[in-house]
């Protein structure tokens, strides 16, 4: 797979987590409690600007699914993916970084859009 382009719809952001399978994988499924390995691109809904991408660092990102190591939108949105899958997650502020934002690159109460590729589980 190659780094995806992420576009923001010309509409109001959703109030709840929106999960869209762009490619359905055919490998093992990601389940809560397992370590997973992903590539991702993250874009702010309000600006359409990328704020982070593992692709740009040339390295994947690993975390334990469902363990609170990532934002809630990721823990819920990556669950059920299969290796080889690509999923678009539109994450409302209450499942992202909320009123605090993050690191000066994600504004307060920002809706986040990620395209996540599942590369490994277990």
Residues that are catalytic: 40, 51-52, 71, 97, 114
Q: Where are the alpha helices (DSSP H) in 46-106?
A: 54-57, 72-78
Quote the distance between the C-alpha of residue 111 and its chain's center: 12
Which CA distances in Å does 34 have to 78, 94, 121?
Answer: 11, 24, 7
Q: Is 65 helix (H, G, I), strand (E, B) or coil?
A: coil
């Amino acid at each position: 797979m190659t780094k995806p382009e992420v576009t923001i719809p010309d509409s109001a952001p959703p109030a709840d987590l929106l999960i869209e399978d762009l490619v359905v994988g055919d490998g093992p499924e990601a389940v809560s409690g397992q370590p997973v390995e992903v590539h991702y691109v993250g874009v702010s809904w309000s600006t359409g600007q990328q704020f982070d991408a593992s692709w740009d660092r040339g390295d994947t990102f690993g975390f334990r699914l469902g363990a609170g190591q990532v934002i809630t939108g990721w823990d819920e949105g990556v669950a059920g993916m299969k290796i080889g899958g690509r999923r678009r997650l539109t994450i409302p502020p209450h499942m992202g970084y909320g009123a605090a934002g993050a690191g000066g690159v994600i504004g307060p109460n920002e809706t986040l859009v990620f395209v996540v590729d599942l590369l490994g589980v277990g």
